[in-house]
């Protein structure tokens, strides 16, 4: 029996689904194990549930989305938040720090028809079994979830900081050696330290690691010269709505 999978999208850029499509040579192998019953980006043949596994991309930002995500939960045995937007609200959630009207006016020429709510990750409304962090999550992490759901075990998605992976690659330390504002020490790993690998600071896209020392991280960023406002934006950028960052992000 193949795993019946549905892929759904809410407020997001679709980049997480693109990461899934990018799988290329592994796709035939995956298709031996799973059957995509619903994946609008990949096929116009859309079948209703029940699903063994629902991958939900995107943040919840309208009243309609709330009802839809609840309906998906009803139909799905295992529900996975695919990517930051679904995990915490992600980049779209930065508009929570301005008035709704202001955000709508910036984006839409005629905001009158827009009905939106505060932006949340999907677990504000439904129970989430596993979280695929990242903007986007690395394919390896997504495949780990497929395998784990098939085997009936918890996926191995480690929550330790990016520094661990960064050291495995023996990158120069951007924070200590270059005094650059790298979010590695508080950010969950899984990305494979791809930004530090090319000499760029970790932007924190996997959101908080298991037990970030936020107060100390703020001090470190101050030490290297970041202003309070810059620090605020560092924490808000990808995961300001995460429970661990809400305080420092001044929600």
Partner 1 sequence: MNPYVPRIAVIESIVDETPDIKTFRLRITDGGFSFVPGQFVMVSVLGVGESAISISSHPDDAEKFIEISVRKVGNVTGSLFRLKPGDKVGVRGPFGNGWPVDKAVGKDLLIVGGGCGQGALRPLILDVLRHRDRYGRVEILYGARTPQDLMFKYEHDVWASVPQGCLLLTVDRVPPGVEWKHNVGVVTRLFEHVTVDPANSLVCICGPEIMMHFAVKGLLSMGFKGDQIYLSMERRMKCGVGKCGHCQIGGKYVCKDGPIFTYEELKLEPDKIL
Partner 2 sequence: MGGASQLFKTDLEGLDRLIRKLRSGGYVVYGPVKQGRSWFFLEIDSVKQVDLNYVRTVLPPKKLLHPPREKLFEFKLDDGFEVSEKPTPSAVALFGVHPCDLKAIERQDEFFSQTPEDPYYLARRRNTLIIGLTCTRVDENCFCLSRGTGPEVSTGFDILITDVGNGYLLEPGSAKGLELLKSLGFQEAGDEYLEAKQKLIEELKKSFTKHMPSEGLAELAKSLLDHEVWKETAERCLSCGNCSLVCPTCYCFDVYDVLELNLRSGVRVRELDSCQLLEYAEVALGGNFRRNRFQRLRHWMLCKFGAAGGGLYSSCVGCGRCIVYCPASIDLTEVAGRLRGGG
Give the chain's count of helices (H) and strands (E): 10, 5
CA atoms within 13 A on the CB side of 86: 31
Q: Which one of 110, 113, 127, 153 is in contact with partner 1 (CB under 8 A)?
A: 153
Kindly tell me which of 145 and 231 has the beta carbon lying closer to partner 1.
145
Kindly tell me which of 27 and 106 has the beta carbon lying closer to partner 2.
27
Closest approach of partner 2 to the CB of residue 224, in Å? 10
Kindly tell me which of 112 and 152 has the beta carbon lying closer to partner 1.
152
Cα torsion 122, 155, 212, 168: sign: negative
Contacts of 219 (CB under 8 A, 6+ apart): none
Residues near partner 1 (CB under 8 A), total: 4
Which H/E stretch holds residue 92?
none
| Contact code string over 55-94 relative to partner 1, x by CB under 8 A | ----------------------------------------
Kindly tell me which of 30 and 114 has the beta carbon lying closer to partner 1.
30
* Cα dihedral value 194, 198, 199, 203, nearest 10: -30
**Quick one: what does residue 113 bind among partner 1, partner 2, none, with the CB cut-off 5 to 8 Å set by partner type?**
none
Cα 127 to Cα 73: distance, rounded to the nearest angstrom: 8
Residues 173 and 181: beta-carbon distance below 8 Å: no
Closest approach of partner 1 to the CB of residue 154, in Å? 6
Of 38-46, 84-92, 145-153, 212-220, which part binds partner 1 (CB under 8 A)? Answer: 145-153
Give the single-character DSSP code of 95.
Answer: G
Q: Is 152 in the site for partner 1 (CB under 8 A)?
A: yes
Query: Which residues are near partner 1 by CB under 8 A?
Result: 151-154
């Amino acid at each position: 029996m193949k795993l019946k999978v549905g892929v759904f999208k809410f407020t997001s850029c679709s980049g997480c689904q693109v990461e899934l499509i990018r799988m290329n040579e592994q796709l035939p192998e995956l298709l031996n194990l799973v059957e995509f019953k619903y994946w609008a980006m990949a096929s116009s043949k859309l079948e209703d549930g029940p699903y063994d596994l629902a991958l939900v991309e995107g943040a919840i930002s309208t009243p309609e989305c709330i009802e839809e995500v609840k309906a998906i939960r009803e139909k799905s045995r295992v529900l996975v938040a695919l990517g930051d937007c679904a995990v915490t609200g992600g980049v779209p959630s930065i508009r929570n720090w301005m008035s709704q009207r202001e955000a709508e006016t910036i984006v839409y020429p005629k905001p009158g028809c827009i009905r939106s709510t505060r932006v949340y990750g999907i677990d504000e409304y439904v129970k989430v079994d596993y979280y695929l962090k990242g903007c986007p999550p690395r394919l390896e992490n997504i495949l780990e979830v497929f395998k784990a759901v098939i085997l009936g075990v918890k996926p191995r998605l480690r929550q330790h900081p990016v520094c661990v992976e960064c050291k495995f690659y023996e990158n120069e330390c951007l924070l200590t050696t270059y005094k650059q504002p790298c979010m590695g020490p508080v950010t969950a790993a899984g990305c494979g330290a791809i930004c530090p690998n090319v000499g760029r600071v970790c932007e924190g896209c996997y959101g908080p690691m298991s037990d970030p020392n936020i107060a100390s991280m703020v001090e470190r960023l101050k030490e290297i010269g970041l202003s309070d406002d810059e620090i605020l934006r560092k924490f808000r950028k990808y995961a300001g709505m995460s429970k661990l960052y809400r305080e420092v992000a001044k929600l």
